[in-house]
Amino acid sequence: MDVFYVDGFAFSQKEEYNLALREQRNIQSIKTKMNMQNKDSVLNIYNKLAGKGILITPVGLSFLRELREILLVQFGMEETELTMIKVVDNPSVQKTKEQFTLEQVVKDNQKKAGTIRTLKIFLVGMVIVIIGMFAINIFLPNSGYINTENKILNQYSSWEEELKQREAAVKEKEEALGIDASDNKE
């Protein structure tokens, strides 16, 4: 299992790691543009970020906590004056929690049971078809070929009969006309 590190925090999921990296870059950008010595500037940024729940990873929440400490200690504000930091479940963490609910496990098991039932029916059908194929092969070997062969033999037999009749008719004509068949066979 891979572990990803950002700003002293270890993340086991790539999505959370990427989100923390994005937040870290945004925080660096905010820090470069913000005057940390100006109470109104710090308070304004803190209220925007804390009120909207924009930062959700430990990296972002640590930055909010840092801003809160500056406002409380350095500028002497009271806890009641500050917006509370919203801790929002990270969507990937929330998804993991949902996967382990009892209802989800039951639904997954039902889906799997249905799939297994379908596969068993399919397997039984395939076994029946294979057994039927073997039975046909054993009890009627080459039945399709035999029927075709018989049809062809019957056709040739009828042609042979027809040919013999024509030969006989030709011989009769030759005899009637007095033609000797042995003269023509050279």
What is the reported pLDDT for 158?
Answer: 87
Q: What is the DSSP string of 66-126?
A: HHHHIIIIIS---GGGSPPPP-PPPHHHHHHHHHTSHHHHHHHHHHHHHHHHHHHHHHHHH
- Rounded Cα–Cα distance for residues 37 and 47 (Å): 16
pLDDT range class, residue 91, cuts 50, 70, 90: low
Q: Which two tokens stand for residue 100?
A: 């382990």
Cβ proximity of 23 and 59 under 8 Å: yes
What is the reported pLDDT for 149?
Answer: 77
- Rounded Cα–Cα distance for residues 49 and 52 (Å): 6
User: Over 90: is that where the pLDDT of 155 sits?
Assistant: no
What is the reported pLDDT for 174?
Answer: 87
The predicted model gives 30-37 an average pLDDT of 90
- Rounded Cα–Cα distance for residues 24 and 57 (Å): 10
User: Over 60: is that where the pLDDT of 130 sits?
Assistant: yes
The number of residues making up the chain comes to 186
The distance between the two most distant Cα atoms of the chain, rounded to a whole number of Å, is 145
Q: What global pTM score does this model have?
A: 0.49
Contacts 24+ apart (CB under 8 A), 8-11: 9/57, 9/58, 9/59
Q: Which two tokens stand for residue 88?
A: 């929002």
Name 53's Cβ contacts closer than 8 Å, sequence gap at least 6: 86, 88
Half-sphere exposure of 181 (CA within 13 A, CB side): 10
pLDDT range class, residue 166, cuts 50, 70, 90: very high
- Rounded Cα–Cα distance for residues 66 and 42 (Å): 10
DSSP, collapsed to helix, strand or coil, labels residue 35 as coil
